Every structure is written in structure tokens, then in C-alpha cells.
Structure 1
Amino acid sequence: MLQLVYVSSANPAAPCPTQDILTVSRRNNARDRISGLLYADGGRFLQALEGPEVAVEAAFTRIQCDPRHRAIVLLSRRIVDRREFGHWEMAHRAPGADAASFLADVQRLTADASPDVRGTFEGLVQTRVLA
């Protein structure tokens, strides 16, 4: 099973409400047997995708062509023996939401991920919470 992790910036010229992204992603990922975690804060996306290699590669190609993303950087591409994200989740911090609770949610969602992937998510969240 393939796992990809990427980071991108949201394109202000092509805004899309987080709920719309979540709705479409849940439908597509269920269809394609992809799981993972998407962190979205309105300015950045950090996503782990895992599942059948062909499906994950196709999803990443769609993301690379999506005008809502810019400056996409692939952080890791690796084969995993088991799903590190057992189900699809989206971590989203609404304006004014408690930062500590949000970080705790991300830590819970990444608990079974490799230390590198977990650190990537926690590091970005901590940086964005402090900004």
C-alpha cells in the first residue's frame, strides 16, 4: 500500500470552503479505498493519502491539477504494510477555536502514523497555531 504526504498553499484566487473539500474527498476516497488525514487551515493543506498505489497516485495527480492548490511539495512517498490512518479524517481549526484542543485532536489522529509523519503534522499545526 502506498502512502504519500504533501503540503501545499491554498490559492486565494480559487477559494473553496473546507466543507466542500471534505464532502468531495470523503466520496472520492471511499470509492477509491484511500484513507489518510487532511489538515486544512485556510492557508495551508497538509495531507497524507494511503491506499492502493494506482488510486493514491491518481488522487495526487488530481490534487496537482486542482487550481485550489499551489506550491505543492511532496514530502514523502513510501510503501506501508498497514494503514496508519484507519479512516478518513479532516482536521480543521475554526477561527477562535482552542489551539490546545486542536493540537490534541491532531495528535490523536496521527497516533498510529510513523514518527516522521506524526512530527510533520504536529509541527505544522504548532507553527500555524502560533502564527
Structure 2
Amino acid sequence: MSLLVNATYISECVIPLERREPEIAVLLARARTANSINQVNGALLFTGTHFVQTLEGAPNRIDGLLATIVADPRHRRVQIVDRRTVAMPRFNGWSMAYSGSSLFVATIVSQATAAIARGGPRDIGRLMRLLEEIGRDNQIRP
């Protein structure tokens, strides 16, 4: 099996409030289709103010997606908080699991962004566990 890359980022949403729900629905539909075609797996969290996304796939596909994501005008301050090579997929079969705004998710993301802003360690273990749990709970498949 080829090695995969897993990359996770956090960003701030700049979509106007009244357009967030429909824009995120379109984003998810397009991502699920493209990710299925390109053999990319992942999960997206949205807190109402921040996105957290993890993507997993072939290195060239993930690098291309990250370049597109960084340039996307729907968010700003994109910070790649983790990038690693993995031998076994963690998000196998999830074209794009999703969780919308919740106080619990917002709290975990807020703690992670505060630690990054302070220059603290980028321990995203809690975020990764949350992403994995959301994927299992949603049972979203391509």
C-alpha cells in the first residue's frame, strides 16, 4: 500500500452569516463528489466561526487541495496544524464527514486556536479524536 498524507488545518470563516448554511451545503456536496473521485478522505468541523478540516490521501492530491483551500475566500488565517505521513488510513471511506456548530466543538477548537496563538505546542490529538468520532457518529460515506 502507498503511503498517505494526513493534513489538518484550522481557519476563520468569513462567509456572511446569512449565506453560511447554503454555502457550506454546496461546499460539502462538491467536496464529497471530488473527494470520492480523487480518493481523498476527510472530515470537516464548523463551529460557526472556525473550520477544522482533516484530509487524507495521496501526497500530491493533498498538496493540491491545501493550495486551493488556502486561496479560498470563504475563510482566512488558514493554519496547517498537523501534517504527517500515515501507512494506514484513519478516515477510510469518508468522502467528507461533517459536524456543524455546537458548543462542545467550538470549545475544543477555541482551545486549540488559543494554544497556537500563544505559540504553544500543536497538540491536535483532541481535535483528531473529535473528527474521528464525528465520522463514526455520522456514518457519512461517499
TM over 0.5: yes
Task: Look up the match of 1:92.
Answer: 100
Q: Mark the CA change 1:7 to 1:117 in structure 2 (over 3 Å): closer, same or farther.
A: same
Task: Look up the match of 2:40.
Answer: 34
Deviation at 1:13, TM superposition (A): 5.7
Deviation at 1:118, TM superposition (A): 4.2
The answer on 1:58 being equivalent to 2:64 is: yes
1:1-131 to 2 correspondence within 5 Å?
1-12=4-15, 16=20, 17-86=23-92, 87=94, 88-93=96-101, 117-121=124-128, 122=130
Task: Look up the match of 2:111.
Answer: none
Q: Which amino acid aligns with 2:39?
A: R
Q: Which amino acid aligns with 2:99?
A: A
The alignment partner of 1:42 has SS state of coil
Q: Structure 1: which 5+ runs fail to align?
A: 104-115, 123-131
Deviation at 1:5, TM superposition (A): 0.5
Deviation at 1:117, TM superposition (A): 4.4
**Cα RMSD between the aligned structures?**
2.4
Q: Which amino acid aligns with 1:68?
A: R
The alignment partner of 1:7 has SS state of strand
Structure 1 stretches of at least 4 aligned residues deviating more than 6 Å after TM superposition: none
Deviation at 1:21, TM superposition (A): 1.3
* Per-residue CA distance 1:3-25 (angstroms, 9 max, x = gap): 10100001146954221111111
Percent identical across equivalent pairs?
23
Q: Structure 2: which 5+ runs fail to align?
A: 107-122, 131-142
The alignment partner of 1:61 has SS state of helix
